[in-house]
Amino acid sequence: MSKHHYFLAAKLPNEVKDYLNEWVEKNKLDFPFARWVHSEDYHITLAFLGFAEESMKQEVIDTMSQVLVDERPFTLTLHKIGTFGPHKKPRIFWADVEQSESLNTVQKKVYRQCINIGFQLDKKPFRPHITLARKWQGEGDFDIETLKVFEDSPSFTVNEIVLYETHLDKTPKYHEYARFALGEKE
């Protein structure tokens, strides 16, 4: 068994990672979180696999392109900033995207295939987001009124799903292990 965690995610284009990183650099002093995510690690998780047996990981690699064969690249638009966890001391600080039927369809297909392979996945409803930081460490309570919508709401195209491998001892810590293009027939 590997010592790494694995997850499947919608890959973000570099321009969106740069946009989010610029936003973070301009605003992070207003939001004192303990750990900020490296901009290369920004993504939208579709299915968190955790530790993966080699045979199961290989089955993901061997079957995911076929599972996604009818899916085409789609456009997402950044929407707003939000949090997960207790309102006064949130665990996760994130950016989300506007509702997308295409993203939901791709996530359901990826999730279902991982279940079919035998992975035990989180059963919480899918809430697409891009984690920016973790663990509130402000002296006072977090003020939810400070959250905002992105001013220019950039849009971007998702044309690839990636199987990432986590390396906790590195920065950035997510390594592209396998890639699955949308809209490509084998």
As annotated, the active-site residues are 43, 129
Residues 8 and 50: their CA atoms lie apart, in Å, by 10
Residues 167 and 7: their CA atoms lie apart, in Å, by 12
- Structure tokens of 56? 């199961």
Picking from 181, 174, 146, the residue whose alpha carbon sits closest to that of residue 4 is 174
Residues 186 and 180: their CA atoms lie apart, in Å, by 11
Picking from 126, 158, 161, 135, the residue whose alpha carbon sits closest to that of residue 6 is 161
Q: What share of the chain is helix, strand, coil (3-state, %, to 5)?
A: 30, 35, 35
Contact 10, 161 (CB under 8 A): yes
